[in-house]
Structure 1
Amino acid sequence: MTRFSVTYRIFAPELAEAKVRAEAIALEQTVEIPRDVVPAGFIEDEILGRVEEIGSDGDGQFRATLSYSPHSAGFEIAQFFNVIFGNSSIQRGLRVVGIEPGEEMARRHPGPRFGIDGVRALCGRPAGGLIAPVLKPQGLDADDLARIGYLCARGGADIVKEDHGLMDQPMAPFRERVEKTAAAVTRANAETGGRALYFPTLAGQPDQLEGNIRFARDAGADGLLVLPGLLGFGTVSRIARDRELNMPVMTHPSFLGPYVLSPDTGFDHGVMFGTLQRIAGADISVFPNVGGRFGFSHAECAGIAHACRDGAGPGRPMLPSPGGGMSVDRAADMAAMYGDDVVYLLGGSLLRLGERIGEGIAAMRAALDAVRAAEA
C-alpha cells in the first residue's frame, strides 16, 4: 500500500539535532510511545512513521520528509490530518511545507468535485477571472441582503457570495435569508439570461448542519461557503463527496490565521489554503489578498494560488479567491499576478455604489477583459 509523505521544516542549530527531532516526529505522529517499546512486526514495519530524507534548508533550518501508512490515517479526513500534524503541531520550531497524499490516500480523499473547469461550466464563464461580490454587512435583514444579491446577479456577477459573518443571527436567520436570496438571484438570472451562482454561508448548531445543507440545496442555492476552521474540514469533505447534493464548496480562512502567521510553526500558506483545502474537497479557496489589511505578502499569495491550481496537486485544480482591498483600480495588477483562473472577491468597494452595484461589477469585468485583450 502506497505510503503518503509530509515534509516538515525543522528549526534546529545543527543536522544532528534535526535528525533527532525528525525521529521524534515519526513516533509522535503515529504510535506516540518511546522507540524501545514499539512492538515488532506490523506496528514497527508499517504503522511507525519513517524518516525518508533530511537535509539543510538554510541557516538553522532543515527539511525532513516523513512517510506514513494509510493504515495509520484510516478513512476519516480528521485522522488523516491528525497524522499529518497532530501532536507535533503543539511543538515550536516545526512547520509543514509539503504534503504528498500518494495513490491510496488520494483515492480515499479524491478532492474537489467540480474544480476550476466545473465551476466555470456552472456559471458560464469559460475564460477570464470570475467576479464574486460579497453580501454584507451583519445587521441587514434577509430582504435587504436578498436585494443586494439581486443587484449583484443583475449586474453580471459570476458568484454571489455571502459574507462569512452571516451565520444564523436573528437579524437574518439562515433559512429565511437563503430562501429569499436564492429566489432573488434566480429572478435576476431569468431577467438577464445570466448564470450567477449563489453561495450562502453554512450555519447552524452541529445537529442542524445536515438539515441546513439540504435546505440550502432545495431552496435553490448553487454552492456553499464553509468555514473549515470552525466547522471542520470534515464538513467540507462531507459536502464535496455527496453525489446527490452535487454542490461546489467555497472555503473561508476565518479562524485559520494562527496556523500560518508564525514563520517557524504551523503550515506554509500554500499548504493551508491550497493543499489542505483541495484534499478536503474545496472547489474555491478564499484567502487574504496581498496589499489588503491582513498583511499577506506577494510571495505567500502567489504560493497559495500555485498550490490551488498545480496540476500535480491532490485532486482537481481549484480556484484561488483573493479578497481584501480588491477594486477596479487594482484589476490590472491582480490579473497580472493571478492570471485567468481566479475568483475576485469584491466587498466594501461595491457597497459604496448602493443601487448602482451593477456598474461596479461591469467596470471590474471591463478592466479584466481589457487585460486579457492586451495579452492576446
Structure 2
Amino acid sequence: MSTHPRICARYFIETAFPPEQAAETMAGEQSTGTFLRVPGETQALRERFAAQVELIAEGEPVAAPSLPGAGTPKNWDGVRRTAEVTLSWPLENIGPSLPNLLSTVAGNLSELKAFSGLKLLDLELPAEFLSRYRGPQFGVSGTRALSGVYERPLIGTIIKPSIGMDPQATAAQVRVLAEAGIDFIKDDELQTDGAHCSFMARVSAVMHVLREFAERTGKNVMYAPNLTGEIDEMLRRHDHVVAEGGLCVMVSMNSIGLPAMKVLRAHSQVPIHGHRNGWGMLGRSPALGMSFVAFSKLWRLAGIDHTHVNGLRNKFCESDESVIASARSCLTPMFPEPLSGCEVMPVFSSGQSARQAPDTYKALGCTDLIYACGGGIMGHPGGPAAGVCSLQQAWQAAVKGIPLAEFASRHQELAQALELFGA
C-alpha cells in the first residue's frame, strides 16, 4: 500500500461472481475504470489513481439473492458467495471533501449487476480531512460544561405531542419538565416552523421559561429546537436561539446534507444535536446502504456534537448489538493521537426507561450519553419529577453495580418505575 494518504472503506458483498473478480469490479467502477479498458487508462495512471483491493475475507454462501436484478457469470457454479472487502483510494483523487468522499465510497456501487448485496460497513480517513472539517465544537466535554451535568448521563426528553401545540403550550410543558429536574429537552424532528408554532415564537416562549428557571435555581436546562431548513433560515434561527440564551440547536442531518452541516458548524456558537431520521432507509437492510458507524463518521467530521443511536430493547427494529456498536463508535476517536477528536455524545432514546439503564451502562462502559425518555418521565405514576428521579436512581444503581430491585427497595420513585415498566 502506498505511503501517501489513502481513504479506506470496508464493505459487505454478496455475489455470484468470484469475490476477487467482484472486488476488482468495485475498484474499477469507483476510480479509473469502466466496463472496457479505454486508451487513456494507462498503467501509470492506474498505478497512481486506481482504487486498490486491500483485503477480501470470504464468508458463508447464501441460498438466494438478497436484492433483485443481480447477474450471474457464464458457467456459474451455482454458489452465491459473501465476503467483506476493503478498498482504498489515494486522497489526491478527491482531496478532503465529504461530498466527493460519499460519491467515491458509495456512488454507483449498489447498482452494479454483479452484486445481490453490497453495504458500506466502515470508513478510515486520513487526518488531512481535519484541514477542511472542524468536527464537533463541543462534543461530550463541552456538553457537560454547558449543562453542568457530570458523572452521570444527561437525562433528556422530547416535546410531545410532536406537533400540534402552540408556543405557549410548548413553553408550559417545558416549565413542567424543568421543574422536574430534566437536563435536556428537544423538539421532535417533525416540529419545525409551521404557522401554528413558528420557530421564532416557540424559542422565545421556551427560553423565557428556561432563563427564569436558571435565574431562580442556577440550573441551565439544554433545549434543542429544530432549526432544520434552508441554509439562510438555519443561520438566522441559530442566531435567534443564541440571542435568547439557548444552549443547543437541533438539525435533521439527512434533510440538509453534509455541505449545509459544514456551514452551520462554522457559524454555530452552541452544540449541534444531529438527528438521524431517515437513516433507516440506509441502514435497515443487511444487504444494502451503509452502517451507522460509517454514516456517523461523515457527520462527526461535518460538525455534529450529539447524535441518536436508538436504545436497548427499543420500539424500532434495530438490535441491541447494533445500538451499542453505534454508541461506541460515537465515543471512539477517528484519528490517532495527538489529533484524536471527533467524538460525539450518543443519544439513547426510543422506549427507554429505568429498566434499560443497567444494561446500557454495562454494555457501553461509561455514562457519556444523553438518556432520553418520554413515557419514562411523563408517564411515571408519581409525576414528571418522580420520573426524572427514577432515571437518576437507575443510573446510580447501574454505576454502583447494585441490582435495580435492591436499589428500588430504598427508593420509591425507582420502585414505581420498575412496577410500571414490568420486567
Instruction: Give the superposition deviation at 1:151.
Output: 2.4
Q: Does 1:5 align with 2:8?
A: yes
Quote the residue 1:351 is aligned against: 378
SS at match of 2:164: coil
Q: Does 1:248 align with 2:249?
A: no
Quote the residue 1:169 is aligned against: 194
**1:1-376 paired onto structure 2 within 5 Å:** 1-13=4-16, 17-31=18-32, 33-34=34-35, 36-37=37-38, 38-40=40-42, 43-59=45-61, 60-91=81-112, 92-137=116-161, 138-242=163-267, 245-272=268-295, 274-312=296-334, 315-338=341-364, 339-352=366-379, 356-374=383-401
Distance 2:319 2:25 in 1: 32
SS at match of 1:241: helix
Q: Deviations over 1:38-60 (max 9, x none)?
A: 54388534433222222324442
Amino acid at match of 1:97: L
Instruction: Give the superposition deviation at 1:349.
Output: 3.7
Query: Which structure has the highest helix share of the two?
Result: 1
Distance 2:13 2:291 in 1: 13
Q: State which drifts further: 134-143 or 206-215.
A: 206-215
Residue identity (%): 24
Does structure 2 retain, via aligned residues, the 8 Å contact 1:55–1:62?
yes
Instruction: Give the superposition deviation at 1:24.
Output: 2.2
Q: State which drifts further: 224-233 or 306-315.
A: 306-315
Amino acid at match of 2:311: N
Distance 2:43 2:236 in 1: 46
SS at match of 2:185: strand
Instruction: Give the superposition deviation at 1:233.
Output: 2.7
Report the CA distance shift for 1:302/1:330 in structure 2 as closer, same or farther (over 3 A): closer
Instruction: Give the superposition deviation at 1:183.
Output: 2.3
Instruction: Give the superposition deviation at 1:207.
Output: 4.6
SS at match of 1:22: helix
Distance 1:24 1:102 in 2: 24
Which TM-score applies when normalising by structure 1?
Answer: 0.89
Does structure 2 retain, via aligned residues, the 8 Å contact 1:285–1:318?
yes
Q: Deviations over 1:200-250 (max 9, x none)?
A: 1123345523322322232322122111111113333323334xx332111
Does structure 1 retain, via aligned residues, the 8 Å contact 2:96–2:128?
no
How many matched pairs?
Answer: 370
Instruction: Give the superposition deviation at 1:31.
Output: 4.3
Q: Deviations over 1:165-214 (max 9, x none)?
A: 11111221111111221222222222221122121112334552332232
SS at match of 2:87: strand
Q: Deviations over 1:118-148 (max 9, x none)?
A: 2112211221111111112210011111122
Amino acid at match of 1:33: T
Instruction: Give the superposition deviation at 1:7.
Output: 0.9
SS at match of 2:88: strand
Q: Which runs of 5+ in 1 are unaligned?
A: none
Amino acid at match of 1:182: M
